[in-house]
Amino acid sequence: MLDTANRTAYNEDHEAFRDTVRKVFAEHMTPNLDKHEEEGIVGREAWKALGEAGMLCPTVKEENGGLGLDFGFNCVLTEELSYLGSSAGFTLQNDITANYFERLGTDEQRAKYLPGMVSGDIITAIAMTEPGAGSDLQGIRTTAVKDGNHLVVNGSKTYITNGQNADVVIVVAKTDPTLGAKGTSLVLVDADTPGFERGRNLDKIGQHSADTSELFFNDVRVPMTNILGQEGRGFIHLMEELPQERLGIAVGAQAAAQRAFDEAVKFTKDRKAFGQTVFEFQNTKFTLADLKAKLQVGWAHLDWAIRKHLSGELTTDEASAAKLWHTDLQWEACDAALQLHGGAGYMNEYAIARLWRDARVTRIFGGTNEIMKEVISRSI
């Protein structure tokens, strides 16, 4: 269990919410972790259970069906989910797509989607990456060509979180291919629209609980009113959301690093070799001491970043630095913890195996850590 006694980002309401999250997870997530991993998806019953408990999209305003809480409540859920060791796609809906709908959506779009997103009846995805365009989003080829009062969407996307479950997808597409980034828009495609097809639920190294899919758009016709935000400003809209997205990744990474550390401490104090516990060897103590110091620094930095974001002051380079530092720490902690487990750490029956697998991708998604360094360098 995460120790939050010395945290500075949260108040009593946040911690009361944490108690609720733990109770709901204990009933609906913990007993089903292996099932979610084996099936490669989290079923809708879990989404609805979280929705009933007020754990989905808590920042959505009351007039749009939510609770109108601050982003700190999202962070609490992310911490608990990551510490649990689940890669379920709840955080994408909480931290990313809900904000797109609330900030950019028309009254009609907000009324159509947000209440269902809060209740868990509507699951969302955002489709950016393509087979030929990852970090370079300006290189996307998916188009949404005007045809009267409609757009005709053609193209393909890949590595899309919640792709198998999604009821609606925010598609990044070029509405004017001649204008480059300025011709990019965000287009809403409902899953029951003719021409929309889901591909494979992709077989990944880790994060098996997160359904991650190929999506195909073959002459998908949607009304012009399905543009989310301003036409031609899709790339700008994406950039505006990066600080919160990257902070959310940092939050999850820090919690996962803490879980890896805790698992290593528990294992090494129980495991005996050469007449003593593994913990008593100097290498073990020094490794864990180093990790503990870095984790303490990490929690202090994370609380600073959360507080700054809550006040609307967290910059893109600061969020990028948080994503860089905390995901690097996550990998360091998970790799060191697995090593301290010895051969047992390579066995899936131990939590550290899943934590290690799941950690690898966090230095890639949300912008690779190499891109984070480039972003940070621009502020120097």
| CB distance 164 to 201 below 8 Å | yes
Residue 153 CB neighbours (<10 A): 25
Active-site positions read 245
Residue labelled with tokens 């009351």:
62
Cα separations in angstroms, 163 against 169, 190, 214, 296, 339: 8, 12, 7, 36, 34
Measured distance CA(338)–CA(356) in Å, rounded: 7
Give the residue from 330, 366, 357 showing the smallest Cα distance to 87.
357
Is residue 343 exposed (0-12), middle (13-18) or buried (19+ Cβ within 10 Å)?
A: exposed
Measured distance CA(207)–CA(209) in Å, rounded: 6
Tell me how far apart the 2 most distant CA atoms of the chain are, in Å: 79
Measured distance CA(97)–CA(99) in Å, rounded: 5
- Measured in Å, how far apart are the chain's first and last C-alpha atoms? 38
Answer positive or negative: Cα dihedral of 71, 72, 75, 76. negative
Measured distance CA(26)–CA(48) in Å, rounded: 15
Find how far residue 128's CA is from the centre of its chain: 14
Tell me which DSSP letter residue 232 carries. Answer: T
- State which amino acid sits at residue 272: K
Residue 20 CB neighbours (<10 A): 15
